[in-house]
Structure 1
Amino acid sequence: MTTRIALFFFALFASVLLALASPVPVVNGELVDIEKRLTRSGRGTWFHPGMGNCGKRNGDNDLILAIGKKLYDRNGGSNCDQWVEIVANGKKAYGKTRDSCQSCTDNDIDMSPALFKKLAPLSTGVVKVSWHFMAKGWQP
């Protein structure tokens, strides 16, 4: 009987330790770790970048993008400088998050001309894209 009680408390203690060893990142009360694994599908457009919400100046030749303003705000700007993998027209490209897009939904992205051209000609204007955040610190 004593062995069973000891085994029970050992298992309980081990379970508590495992739960504590798996922290979940939270920004502004929201889970953000799962964000990098969520693939979004929406519209991809292009714009002429300048000074973005992330506080960095970019130009047409930089591989950057803007995410929807509501998504940017919900994450407290924590996606700044985070790379995104984008797929459209059977092509794949990577861009760095540097701005927010007022007219974009959470599933849309607005890309610099250089990034957009990796997926379609600028004359296309709008493309259907699938995209997701890469792990923070990842670089192509």
Structure 2
Amino acid sequence: MTSRIVSFIAWLCLLAALCMTVVASPVPIDAANSTVTHTEEGRDLEKRVTRTGRATWFHAGLGNCGRRHTDSAPVVAMGKAFYDRNKGSNCGQWVEIINAKTRKKAYGQVWDSCPSCSDSQLDLSPSLFRQFATLEQGVFTAEWHFMAKGWNP
């Protein structure tokens, strides 16, 4: 009788170990059909990344977000491909911009896209650009990241 109990307990332990192995096994994800990176949460996580790239200036006007601004507004145009991937969800969102050399900091609001800019580059309205460099200088290296939606300076 004792050997039957020992055998039964051994089988139960084996069965429990197999169940735990199955539960702990990773589940393969078909990357082509995965939508995780396309969720709003995925975009929000991406926005916390600090990027470094060229900052240039442009004359503000009617932006890709559908609003008209003057050169005195703190307007930011982000790379067109980046804008398109986010389906314009960054419109109206504030960006913290830091001059990588001088460490001067200012905030601008995304209201446009920049066709010639990469994902890490920004185009700034003249008044915002002047907070970092002269218009004659024309370019500086910027570190930047999106602020949380709803944030205001």
Matching of residue 129 in structure 1 with residue 139 in structure 2: no
Which residue is 2:59 aligned to? 48
Structure 1: gaps of 5 or more residues: 1-23
Q: Any residues of structure 2 matched to 1:56-75 within 5 Å, and which?
A: 56-75=67-86
Which residue is 1:83 aligned to? 94
Which residue is 1:33 aligned to? 44
Which residue is 1:6 aligned to? none
Q: 1:31 Cα deviation (Å)?
A: 1.6
SS in 2 for 1:96: strand
SS in 2 for 1:50: coil
Q: Deviations over 1:97-138 (max 9, x none)?
A: 000000000000000000000111111101000000000000
Distance 1:84 1:25 in 2: 21
Return the TM-score normalized by structure 1: 0.79
Q: 1:25 Cα deviation (Å)?
A: 8.0
Return the TM-score normalized by structure 2: 0.73
SS in 1 for 2:136: helix
Structure 2: gaps of 5 or more residues: 1-36
- The 4+ residue runs of structure 1 with deviation greater than 2 A are none
Matching of residue 118 in structure 1 with residue 131 in structure 2: yes
Q: Normalized per residue, which structure has more strand? A: 1
Query: How many residue pairs align between the two structures?
Result: 118
Q: Which amino acid aligns with 1:105?
A: S
Matching of residue 101 in structure 1 with residue 125 in structure 2: no
